[in-house]
Amino acid sequence: MRFTKMHGAGNDYVYIDCFSQSVPDDLPGLARRISHRHFGVGGDGLILIRPSEVADARMQMFNADGSEAEMCGNGVRCVAKFVYDHGIARKETLRIETAAGILPIEVVVRDAIAVAARVDMGEPILQPPRIPTSLAAEKEMVVDEPLLIGEREFSVTCVSMGNPHCIIFVEEASDELVLGIGPQIERDERFPQRTNVEFVEVRSPTEVVQRTWERGSGETWACGTGASAVCVAGVLSGRTERTIVNHLLGGDLELTWDAQTNHVWMTGPAEEVFTGEWPDRGQG
């Protein structure tokens, strides 16, 4: 089975072109095996680039633990790059189908190669039952709500960008918080579908630093839906403006929450690292 390793701002996935080859069996098991950092190719998960009846291509993604996810902003930029570079749809404005809906993507082309992309991430979902979370279920939004984890209380803002996010603004996004508290919040019963967790330092009203504990994958170097959710959370909580630069471990993303359309736009890099053949030998 042929694969391509790609990343967007360090958020790396293994990609399978299902236009030129059949869809593999046991996708959750394959995701666990191929994503392993020591015994596999290594990555934050597995993404299939599949034909679509309603768009230029369909993205299907699995986290490193084999769980299927709705969407990934960094992943969908790489899907758009692959679709453009490999001639599946040689258009500078593409439509990619995801489990969170169809996303328009504008690719940035240099020397006939897509090097970055601007993605319409859609409208944020703010109603607690739709995120979903049981926090502040009686309110219209979860903004700076108290969340008790063990003996520590955090002020959290919850946003869905097609997948759930719990954003916590902190003075320092430390290992203690990201690696210690992140997994506890991910599986907290108040998030019935689990949640991604973002720990965010605000440098100025237009600049933040983000670290992410990603549902099903652990800490990742970038999270596009998370960065989009942070943009929204910053505005809702009065900490940031509608356009920000978000510094992640793997690079920078530019975000804008448009006041007129209510859509979040994200611009960032997409890079192909290498290709190879996967000798799939067993079950996960």
Q: Rounded distance, CA 241 to CA 256, Å?
A: 9
Judge whether 250 and 233 are in contact, CB under 8 Å. no
Question: CA 196, 157, 211, 149 torsion: positive or negative?
Answer: negative
Neighbouring CB atoms inside 10 A of 129's CB total 10
**What's the DSSP call for residue 125?**
B
Q: Rounded distance, CA 14 to CA 46, Å?
A: 5
Judge whether 105 and 118 are in contact, CB under 8 Å. yes
- Whole-angstrom CA distances from 25 to 41, 45, 60, 281, 283 are 18, 16, 14, 12, 10
The residues annotated with a catalytic role in the active site are 72, 223
Secondary structure (3-state) at 79 = helix
Phi, psi of 282 (to 5 degrees): 165, 175
Where do we find the tokens 């699995």? Answer: 62
Max Cα separation, the chain?
55
